[in-house]
Amino acid sequence: MKKFPLNKLLAAALLFCFTLYIYGQSSKEIIAKAGNISITKEEFVKRYEMSAHPNPRGLNEEELKKEFVYTLLAEKLLAQSQSAGKIATKLEFQALMDYIQNNYLRDYLYKKEVKDKIAIPDSEMAIGYQRSLKNFRVKFIFSNDEKEITAIYSSLMNGALFDSILQTRSEYNEQKEAAKVTFGSMAPEVESEIYKLLPGQFTPPVELEEGWYICKVYEAEVKKSLEQSDISNMKKVLEKREEDKLYGEFYKKFFKGVNVNTDRPLFERLAKAFFDYLQKHEKDFVQIKAVKFRFTEKELGGMINDLGLTGEEKNKVFIKFESNPVSFGQFLQQLRISDIGFQKIEEQHIRNILNSFIYSFIQNELLVRESIKRGYDKIPEVANELKSWKEYYLAHDVMKKIFRELNVTNEEAEEYFKKENNYVIQADSVKIIEILLSNLEEAEFVLDQINKGTDFEKLAEDYSIRKELKNKKGEYDLLPVSENNDLGQIAYSMKVGEVLGPIELEEGYAIIKLVDKKEGIKKYHSQFEEAKEEIKNILRTEKMYKTLDDITAELAEEKGIYINEALLNSVKVTMVDMVVLRRFGFGGQMLAVPFTPHYSSWLKTYLQKQKKDLPK
């Protein structure tokens, strides 16, 4: 069974708050500067180690680090440009920044109320140690009917055979062999009963959220001592259970007696808008295994536009907090950058899903407000994380704005055609298979399936939301590297057979596998009209990068650049490419850091302007 290398897959790490990166005072040393812009050692290492660095040119570590510094400088310079200032004032951009900030604010509150309070008593450590010495082989009988499970237990106590009863039930099909149970592998309530038993004995009914279980022990294995890995796993299990306990206690206390209402007519209007949009566009949705009708930003934008709201309607209070209520317009801005899906086009089902979404929104908003009340929005770590994301999105929006505004005339294209004697140099191209997903939870699941050896094309067929590639199992025709945002360029920097993702696109999160790549060749055209559009794409791309290089170099010249090469060369980084997922306390997840493809071509333009070497 083939497994793809982990260094090209997302590593789903639990990175709560800022505990992962703890450096000494030297971490505040400056690696690079441009005017008031600076890149600290801490920021560089964090961004570098949590990003993937496809390296087809075989650059050494020193060269890769230098390229990445130039990339970060370009990102920060573009984020301070005049265009970025205009983008930052848009409501859509502010809604995105609020969403990101709120994740970090809730996470910091979680850190203070849960993570920082975890302490395992010696008595629990002793119990954990003793249980870690034992492994069991177990089967279970399950029922979500209390009367039925009670009757089964009564039969067992009166001498009925466990296996005979199990063989008559549906759960038998999933446990032909007894499952191995180790410390931490089952719910604590079930585990406590199992660890009281000897082989051949069974538990009383144990109630969990989904129903009742009776478990029977078939074998028991006792270790003489624990390996260091066993002890480490035991501590993780105990810490996670203590974390869950503290979270439950905080949740009950914090939300006790809280009652926040919504405007019912506006709720009904929104539910109807979803229903009407689904009826009208049912055939436009891609049917995938996870969710039948997944609304991405595109569909949500269309549905919100269909509402045809006036300014007065947007300003109407929708969520009735005692102070600072949320208007309908504010809620819709947050909805637009969120993720919501439905399994069927049925009015009551849509109301139920929407009601759950709003319930979570209210809870998250209350947690954010508590965090702000405590002043966590002024914590430097929170501000720095938000600044990093803001610079990333501003820089990429500037790039997209440049590309949208560029135009190539017929005269320019024809001049190129004649100059090249009817030959057109085609762009480098790639052939990729893409799995496009609407959120990171789905991306994490798919990457886990890839690691388990599931066929990539099969996963694309089952889960990708890109409709035009659905019948092709996610496979593109040869894709010029200049097309589809950064996707083509990223793929060209990979090796054939490699998998990389998730890559954040406007449409969602892409996981790609490079199938083939080809260098551009010269192609002869007898008539200009045959090649016109191809030439325009080439010239438009060239113009974009020249314009981008000129703007970045001009900003760099205006501010001046300083690179501490000695410090940069001394920085030790992990040369294992990963795109790391960060899960936040109280829910939510994002990429741990922005994933930025290397961009250093601007430096050549800068040096030409300066007519000198880069200052040390």
Q: What is the reported pLDDT for 368?
A: 97
Q: What is the reported pLDDT for 31?
A: 96
For 214-227, what is each residue's pLDDT tens digit?
Answer: 999 999 999 999 99
For 404-462, what is each residue's pLDDT tens digit?
Answer: 888 899 999 999 899 989 888 877 888 999 999 988 888 889 998 998 899 999 999 98
Q: What is the reported pLDDT for 14?
A: 36
pLDDT at 4 over 70: no
Q: Which of 13-17, 71-75, 524-528 has the lowest mean pLDDT?
A: 13-17
pLDDT range class, residue 576, cuts 50, 70, 90: low
Of 392, 331, 531, nearest to 77 (Cα)? 392
Structure token pair of residue 193: 């009963």
453: left (phi over 0), alpha (psi -120 to 50) or beta: left
Q: How far apart are CA 342 and CA 355, in angstroms?
A: 12
pLDDT at 393 over 50: yes
What does the DSSP 8-state code read for residue 565?
H
Q: What is the reported pLDDT for 134?
A: 95
Q: What is the reported pLDDT for 21?
A: 34
pLDDT range class, residue 208, cuts 50, 70, 90: very high
Q: How far apart are CA 604 and CA 553, in angstroms?
A: 8
Q: What is the reported pLDDT for 26?
A: 43
pLDDT at 168 over 50: yes
pLDDT range class, residue 1, cuts 50, 70, 90: very low
Q: What is the reported pLDDT for 263?
A: 96
Q: What is the reported pLDDT for 367?
A: 97
Average pLDDT over residues 89-104: 93
pLDDT range class, residue 565, cuts 50, 70, 90: very high
pLDDT range class, residue 119, cuts 50, 70, 90: very high
pLDDT at 612 over 70: no
Q: How far apart are CA 463 and CA 442, in angstroms?
A: 8
DSSP state string for 370-432: HHHHTTGGG-HHHHHHHHHHHHHHHHHHHHHHHHHH----HHHHHHHHHHTTTEEEPPPEEEE
pLDDT at 98 over 70: yes
pLDDT range class, residue 613, cuts 50, 70, 90: low
Number of other residues whose CB lies within 10 A of the CB of residue 410:
12
Q: What is the reported pLDDT for 328?
A: 97
pLDDT at 356 over 80: yes
Number of other residues whose CB lies within 10 A of the CB of residue 136:
23
Domains of the chain: 122-250 (3.10.50.40), 259-373 (no CATH), 427-520 (3.10.50.40)
Q: What average pLDDT does the chain have?
A: 89
For 249-296, what is each residue's pLDDT tens digit?
Answer: 999 999 999 999 999 999 999 999 999 999 999 998 887 777 889 898
Are 514 and 495 in contact, with CB atoms under 8 Å apart?
A: yes
Are 291 and 238 in contact, with CB atoms under 8 Å apart?
A: no
Residues near 229 by Cβ (< 8 Å), separated by ≥ 6? none
Are 303 and 329 in contact, with CB atoms under 8 Å apart?
A: no
Q: What is the reported pLDDT for 381?
A: 87
Q: How far apart are CA 318 and CA 395, in angstroms?
A: 34
Check the CA dihedral 355-356-359-361 and report its sign. Answer: negative
Q: What is the reported pLDDT for 56?
A: 66
Check the CA dihedral 93-99-103-104 and report its sign. Answer: positive
Q: Where are the beta strands (DSSP E) in 223-359?
A: 293-295, 317-319, 326-327, 340-342
Q: How far apart are CA 106 and CA 365, in angstroms?
A: 9
Q: What is the reported pLDDT for 338?
A: 87
pLDDT at 382 over 70: yes
For 488-520, what is each residue's pLDDT tens digit?
Answer: 888 888 888 989 888 888 888 999 999 998 888
Q: How far apart are CA 560 and CA 251, in angstroms?
A: 51
Task: Tell me the percentage of the chain whose pLDDT exceeds 70.
Answer: 93
